[in-house]
């Protein structure tokens, strides 16, 4: 894998216009980022691909776009106002805040997932840990709630306090009845949403990994509560093999091992619906090009399970700062609908045609972070190609921010090149580049992950043909101008390069 540090990746992303630190001219704000011209394209491609796969290409998942600012009643019912906390300790000398569990992990190199505030406090004291900034003494550990409050309207009373949503999921539970009543749904079905979530993280860090404002792509998939089988579970999911870090292996501090999903099912570590969604989500990353050697699935230990979950599995990526969660898949059971039913006094039950009874659905939740997916795709795609002497961003063609570069070999050919550019940009995101040597232009194209470049030369004027260059192999084919659009369409659907034109030696 690439030896690139996360700070170097952040520098690269800024230089190329993928991601900028937010509010930089005023000194920046930790945990907030702006996506630049290329970043917004890549991010939109991630979201569009996800939406196409999990909503538009399915008949059983419905879309939603809930509000960002949400009533405190939602978060009281969901348990976030009482339980959505991290452990805070402050330096008595420089007053810097630290996330206590991260500080212990960093200093003692141990896994403290799920340890109580009391145990973390004891570890801080027993090991005489100090402020990493100024070596000052640290305060007792206390819980810090991550929800961002906002005041609505002019009436500053407690009741007017709302919150920026801490997860998109709750908006789905709250809109559940409206979707059910408007969309003729039938169990099992899902409601999906892409959108911002906000968490007042104590210590945002590692570039896009831990932010205070980020985006999620979540599905709440509703099933009959006693349904043991998933009719959708097929060989595709049960034969899926992956690196698995079980709770047992974590307790013994032994290594993760290769396992098939069918074995996890046999061991009853998860339900069939849970296995189905875990596999489909893992495969989404793989089918978009992420190297499987850099992925693993980790089972949450009992101690670290969220207050709403009976079983959670994370997909983790091997970042330079360790194996970290990029996707979480919880079995939320009936927790959320029960809570909202109790607090809103509105029924969340559905009529089951089979048993002729009302039932409260249970929920499996596949939860993706857009920004962590972005970080994963760009990190995994980054190749420092020593032979070429430049970076090659081997992004999957569906994700590449710019699909086609159009280059006139010399400025004299501009008129023809511009004509071709205008024709192609009707169809694809294109970039016209006339400056510098052709080699320099190819290098710039590689660096931003452009899968194909079209070069217009003097022969183009004579025989109406152009050269297409493939990013990953640098191979070139000669194709007729009249077929160019069609061939690029085929390439951007995954057809083999060498078969679509005459290879140039
Ligand atoms: N609804 C369940 C939920 O929110 P989570 O594990 O807290 O679960 C789900 O978050 C996903 O959201 C994570 O896998 C990650 O990709 C993303 N995410 C969570 N916190 C984040 C943060 N502070 N910065 C960036 N992404 C974050």
The residue whose CA is least distant from atom 9 of ligand 1 is: 367
Q: What is the mean pLDDT of residues 101-117?
A: 90
272 lines ligand 1 (CB under 6 A): no
- The confidence band for 154, taking pLDDT boundaries of 50, 70 and 90, is confident
- Please say if the pLDDT value at position 18 is more than 90: yes
Specify the pLDDT at position 114: 82
328 lines ligand 1 (CB under 6 A): yes
Q: What is the mean pLDDT of residues 23-29?
A: 97
Mutate to test the pocket of ligand 1, among 216, 307, 364 (most ligand atoms within 8 A of CB): 216
Question: What's the pLDDT tens digit per position in 369-405?
Answer: 999 999 999 999 999 999 999 999 999 999 999 999 9
Distance between Cα 451 and ligand 1 center (Å):
30
Distance between Cα 261 and ligand 1 center (Å):
24
Q: Which residues contact 122 (CB under 8 A, 6 or more apart)?
A: none
Q: How far apart are CA 314 and CA 113, in angstroms?
A: 13
Cβ contact 466:455 at 8 Å: yes
- Please say if the pLDDT value at position 1 is more than 50: no
For 29-65, give the DSSP string. -TT-EEE-HHHHHHHHHHHHHHHIIIIIT-SSEEEE-
The backbone torsions φ and ψ at residue 439, rounded to the nearest 5 degrees and listed phi first, read -60, -40
User: What pTM does this model have?
Assistant: 0.97
Burial pattern 407-437, b for ≥16 Cβ within 10 A else e, equals bbbeeebeebbeebbeebeeeeebbbbeeee
Query: Average per-residue pLDDT in the chain?
Result: 96
Question: What's the pLDDT tens digit per position in 401-424?
Answer: 999 999 999 999 999 999 999 999
325 lines ligand 1 (CB under 6 A): yes
Question: What's the pLDDT tens digit per position in 235-280?
Answer: 999 999 999 999 999 999 999 999 999 999 999 999 999 999 999 9
329 lines ligand 1 (CB under 6 A): no
366 lines ligand 1 (CB under 6 A): no
213 lines ligand 1 (CB under 6 A): no
Specify the pLDDT at position 158: 61
Distance between Cα 463 and ligand 1 center (Å):
55
- The confidence band for 157, taking pLDDT boundaries of 50, 70 and 90, is low
336 lines ligand 1 (CB under 6 A): no
Question: What's the pLDDT tens digit per position in 348-361?
Answer: 999 998 899 999 99
- Please say if the pLDDT value at position 153 is more than 90: no
371 lines ligand 1 (CB under 6 A): yes
The residue whose CA is least distant from atom 19 of ligand 1 is: 369
- The confidence band for 161, taking pLDDT boundaries of 50, 70 and 90, is confident
Instruction: Provide the CA 436 distance to its chain's centre, in angstroms.
Output: 36
Element (H, E) at 107: helix 100-108
- The structure tokens listed for 35 are 């996506």
Specify the pLDDT at position 108: 92
């Amino acid at each position: 894998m690439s030896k690139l540090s996360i700070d170097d990746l952040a520098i690269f992303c800024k230089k190329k216009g993928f991601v900028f630190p937010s509010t930089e001219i005023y000194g920046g704000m930790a945990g907030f980022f702006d996506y630049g011209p290329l970043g917004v394209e890549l991010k939109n491609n991630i979201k569009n691909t996800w939406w196409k796969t999990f909503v538009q290409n399915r008949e059983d998942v419905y879309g939603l776009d809930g509000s960002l600012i949400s009533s405190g009643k939602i978060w009281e019912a969901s348990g976030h106002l009482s339980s959505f906390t991290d452990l805070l300790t402050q330096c008595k000398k420089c007053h810097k805040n630290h996330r206590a569990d991260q500080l212990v992990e960093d200093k003692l190199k141990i896994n403290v997932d799920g340890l109580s505030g009391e145990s973390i406090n004891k570890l801080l004291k027993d090991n005489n840990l100090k402020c990493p900034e100024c070596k000052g003494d640290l305060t007792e550990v206390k819980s810090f709630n991550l929800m961002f409050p906002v005041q609505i309207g002019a009436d500053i009373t407690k009741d007017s306090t709302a919150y920026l949503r801490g997860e998109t999921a709750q908006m789905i539970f709250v809109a559940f009845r409206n979707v059910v009543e408007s969309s003729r749904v039938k169990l099992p079905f899902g409601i999906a949403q892409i959108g911002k979530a906000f968490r007042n993280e104590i210590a945002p860090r590692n570039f896009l990994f831990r932010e205070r404002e980020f985006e999620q792509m979540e599905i709440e998939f509703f099933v009959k509560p006693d349904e043991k089988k998933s009719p959708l579970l097929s060989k595709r999911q049960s034969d899926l093999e992956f690196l698995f870090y079980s709770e047992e292996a974590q307790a013994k501090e032994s290594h993760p091992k290769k396992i098939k999903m069918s074995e996890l099912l046999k061991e009853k570590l998860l339900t069939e619906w849970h296995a189905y969604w875990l596999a489909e989500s893992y495969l989404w990353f793989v089918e978009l090009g992420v190297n499987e050697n850099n992925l693993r699935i980790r089972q949450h230990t009992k101690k670290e399970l969220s207050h709403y979950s009976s079983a959670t599995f994370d997909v983790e990526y091997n970042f330079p700062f360790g194996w970290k969660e990029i996707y979480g898949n919880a079995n939320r059971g009936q927790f959320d609908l029960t809570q909202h039913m109790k607090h809103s006094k509105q029924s969340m039950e559905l009529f089951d045609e089979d048993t002729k009874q009302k039932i409260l659905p249970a929920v499996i939740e596949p939860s993706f972070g857009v920004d962590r997916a972005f970080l994963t795709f760009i990190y995994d795609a980054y190749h420092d190609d020593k032979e070429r002497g430049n970076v090659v961003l081997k992004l999957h063609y569906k994700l590449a921010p710019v699909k086609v570069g159009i280059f006139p070999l010399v400025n004299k050919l501009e008129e023809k090149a511009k004509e071709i550019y205008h024709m192609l940009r009707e169809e694809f995101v294109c970039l016209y580049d006339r400056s510098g040597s052709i080699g320099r232009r190819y290098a710039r194209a590689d660096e931003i992950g452009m899968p194909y470049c079209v070069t217009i030369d003097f022969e183009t004027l004579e025989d109406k043909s152009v050269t297409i260059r493939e990013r990953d192999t640098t191979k070139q084919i000669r194709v007729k101008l009249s077929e160019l659009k069609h061939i690029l369409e085929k390439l951007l659907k995954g057809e083999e390069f060498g078969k679509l034109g005459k290879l140039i030696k």
